[in-house]
Amino acid sequence: MMNRIFLLLMLSLQVFSFSSHAVLMKYSFTGKITEVENEADIVWATSTTIGQDVSGYFLLDTEIVKGGREETSYYWWHNIDDGPGALTSAVRFAGFEYQLTSDFDFLPMYGAWGTDEFIEYFSGIDLSLPVPEKVADGITLRDQEKTETQVANGVIDFDKELSFGFFDSINDFLTDFRYIPGESEPQPDWTQTFEWEDDGQANNGKSSGGSFNITEYFYENLTGQRNKNIDSTINFRLSRVTAEQVTTINSPTTLSLMMCVLMVWLFSRKHGDRGSRQ
C-alpha cells in the first residue's frame, strides 16, 4: 500500500510542470528576551529566561508569497491559509531549539489546508495625509505549525507560532511595491538583501518586537472535554536582522502542489476504504 502511494506521488510530481523559478530568502535575527508568560504548565522559567539571547530565522519562498494585496499606497499584506505555506522557521534560546516546518500545512484528516501564515510589508508614501509623508519601512512575518496526534482516549493538539516585526523610520532600506507579470496588484521585491540593526539608542528611528508561543490541548473522546496542558510565550526585542538569498530552486506552482497532494490523499482514502471492507 505505502509503495503504491509513494509511486503515485513520484508520478504526480513528474506530471505537474515545475514552471516557476523561486528564490529562497533567509531572514536571520538576534535579540533579547523581554518577557515570559506561562498560562498552564511552566515550560520556560521567568527568572532564568528573561534577558537571555534569542536567535533564529525565517525562510521565505518568493514564488509562493506572491499574490498578496496592496491595501494602501504603503502597506501590503498576505494571509496564506488555503494552500502551501511560504514560510519555514526556527528559534533558539536558553538551551531550547524549535523548528516550524511546512510538513503539516495539509490536513489529510479533513482534506483541507491548515496553513495560517501572515506576512506584511511597509514601504512608500502615505498619500492620505494633508502633506504626504514617507512611512517607516518594515516587515512582519508570522509562521505557524499545527499538529494533531491521535492517542488511545483522545487527540493531542500541539501548536507553535513564531512572529517578528522590525521598522526603520529614518533609513529607507526597502524598495516600494511594483507591478510584476502575472499579478493583478503591485508586489514587494522579496529578493532584496539588507542588514537592519538597532543599537538601542533613543531616537534612532528603529522599533521591533517578536514572540514565540507553544500550546498543547487534549481533547478527551469520552467526555468531549478540552483541557489546556501548555500555553507559554516568550516576547523579545530584535537587535539585528539580515536578509540574504540562500538558494534558487525550481518550484512547482501552487496548483501543481495542491493537485499532487489531493491525488495522493484520494488514492490512500480509496484503498483504505477497500482495506476496511475486506
Is residue 28 located within the same domain as residue 95?
Answer: yes
Is residue 68 located within the same domain as residue 99?
Answer: yes
Domain-located, residue 155: no
Entry pTM: 0.81
Q: Which pLDDT belongs to residue 22? A: 73
pLDDT category at 269 given cuts 50, 70, 90 is low
Q: Which pLDDT belongs to residue 2? A: 44
Highest mean pLDDT among 51-60, 113-122, 125-134, 264-273: 51-60
User: Domain containing 71: what range?
Assistant: 21-145+161-212+234-251
Residue range 258-271: mean pLDDT, rounded = 53
What digits encode the pLDDT tens for the residues 33-42? 999 999 999 9
Q: Which pLDDT belongs to residue 105? A: 83
Is residue 137 located within the same domain as residue 26?
Answer: yes
Domain-located, residue 220: no
Is residue 70 located within the same domain as residue 126?
Answer: yes
Backbone angles phi, psi at 220, to 5 degrees: -90, 125
Is residue 238 located within the same domain as residue 276?
Answer: no
pLDDT category at 239 given cuts 50, 70, 90 is very high
What digits encode the pLDDT tens for the residues 178-203? 888 888 889 999 999 999 999 999 99
Domain-located, residue 34: yes
Domain-located, residue 63: yes
Write out the three cell numbers for 191.
529578493
Is residue 52 located within the same domain as residue 178?
Answer: yes
Residue range 211-216: mean pLDDT, rounded = 98
Q: Which pLDDT belongs to residue 184? A: 86
Percent of the chain with pLDDT strictly greater than 90: 65
pLDDT category at 102 given cuts 50, 70, 90 is confident
Write out the three cell numbers for 2.
505505502
Q: Outline where DSSP puts E strands in the chain.
A: 20-38, 53-61, 69-70, 75-80, 87-93, 96-100, 106-107, 112-113, 117-122, 125-126, 133-134, 137-151, 154-168, 194-197, 206-220, 226-251
Residue 139 has pLDDT above 60, yes or no: yes
Residue 25 has pLDDT above 90, yes or no: yes
Domain-located, residue 110: yes
Is residue 5 located within the same domain as residue 123?
Answer: no
Residue 108 has pLDDT above 80, yes or no: no
Highest mean pLDDT among 102-111, 207-216, 265-274: 207-216
- Residues near 130 by beta carbon (within 8 Å), at least 6 away in sequence: none
Question: Is 234 within 8 Å of 44 (Cβ atoms)?
Answer: yes
What digits encode the pLDDT tens for the residues 77-101? 999 988 899 999 999 999 999 999 9
Percent of the chain with pLDDT strictly greater than 70: 81
**HSE, side-chain direction, 13 A CA sphere, residue 146:** 14
What digits encode the pLDDT tens for the residues 161-173? 999 999 999 999 9
- Residues near 1 by beta carbon (within 8 Å), at least 6 away in sequence: 268, 271, 275
Is residue 244 located within the same domain as residue 257?
Answer: no
Q: What's the total number of domains in the chain?
A: 2
Rounded Cα distance, 36 and 72, in Å: 35
Is residue 238 located within the same domain as residue 263?
Answer: no
